[in-house]
Amino acid sequence: MTGGEPEYEYGDDLVGSLAIIWGEGFLSPGGPEEVARLLEGTDLTGATVLDIGCGVGGVDLVLARDYHAGKVVGIDIEPPLVEKARALAEKYGLSDRIELRAVEPGPLPFADASFDAVFSKDSLIHIADKDALFAEVFRVCRAGGLFVASDWLRNSDDPPSPEMARYIESEGLSFGMASPERYRRALERAGFVGIELVNRNPWYREVARRELAALEGELGDRLARAVSPEMRDKNVAIWRNMQVVLDSGEHCPTHIKAKRP
Ligand SMILES: C[S@@+](CC[C@H](N)C(=O)[O-])C[C@H]1O[C@@H](n2cnc3c(N)ncnc32)[C@H](O)[C@@H]1O
């Protein structure tokens, strides 16, 4: 890096690798099918939806195209990702209903009660202060509005096990993981009701096992050719470390739902 250039966590190599592993537009597992499982029973037709941590925009396409959200506002702290998300929305002819904005970390740059629903897929892990986060989510959600998210939690707030520390170090991303209890408390303090948390570890534990096998085989070869052999090796190492903490139950991807009364 030369002086003055911003340093981003989700560089092109990582984004390119994750597109091969998880599909176009996704920086998280499960694709549109996992978004569908998360949104089962939720009607977003015509709704104005905030997507926190939109990444490269795959989720926003699903919200606008398959869930008929009236307007999706995707925000992210990494401007190059927002540009990619914008290009994806344009490619699929959905720019009129998907607005993408680069933001600073911290308070959400929206007026009170701006959204019918606040959504997030596997991004809140990067925001360590859960109380401040959910106070902001509550503020921008209208009365009667919904919070629906998937995120990567830990099964306790004790110091991470050595295996978890090794996994987090291999990711090289800033993780602010917390327990389901801490999420629930922060949501309650913010004023949310009807809080539901569903541990998705049993699902992702098996999906990740198949992803690791694919990375060790043909998919890994494709990644090595399309991105680099180093990124293939790095991802194999991450997945091996991740499988250990998925199998132990310490890493728990979780679905979270709540309502603003
Ligand atoms: C694992 S990716 C998930 C992206 C997308 N939701 C998906 O499922 O493909 C996490 C995203 O959160 C973004 N992020 C990290 N901290 C953030 C913050 N404070 N506000 C908004 N986005 C943030 C990252 O830049 C990254 O794009």
What is the arithmetic mean of pLDDT over 218-237?
A: 98
80-132 per-position pLDDT tens digit: 999 999 999 999 999 999 999 999 999 999 999 999 999 999 999 999 999 99
Listed in sequence order, the residues at least 6 apart from 127 whose beta carbon sits closer than 8 Å to its beta carbon are 105, 133, 176
In the chain, what percentage of residues exceed pLDDT 70? 98
What is the arithmetic mean of pLDDT over 128-150?
A: 98
* pLDDT at 1 exceeding the cut of 70: no
User: Are 39 and 150 a contacting pair, CB within 8 Å?
Assistant: no
How far apart CA 71 and CA 4 sit, in angstroms, is 35
CA–centroid distance, residue 91 to ligand 1 (Å): 21
CA–centroid distance, residue 21 to ligand 1 (Å): 17
Ligand 1, atom 14, lies closest to the CA of 53
| 170 pLDDT tier (thresholds 50, 70, 90) | very high
- Looking at every residue in the chain, the average pLDDT score rounds to 97
Q: Is 124 in the pocket of ligand 1 (CB under 6 A)?
A: no
CATH number, domain 12-153+176-201+253-259, options 3.90.1150.10, 3.40.50.150, 3.40.30.10, 3.90.1300.10: 3.40.50.150
Domain residue limits, the chain? 12-153+176-201+253-259
Which pLDDT score is estimated for 7? 82
Which pLDDT score is estimated for 5? 58
* pLDDT at 4 exceeding the cut of 70: no
8-24 per-position pLDDT tens digit: 999 999 999 999 999 99
- Report the nearest atom of ligand 1 relative to the CA of 121: 6
How far apart CA 223 and CA 220 sit, in angstroms, is 5
38-90 per-position pLDDT tens digit: 999 999 999 999 999 999 999 999 999 999 999 999 999 999 999 999 999 99
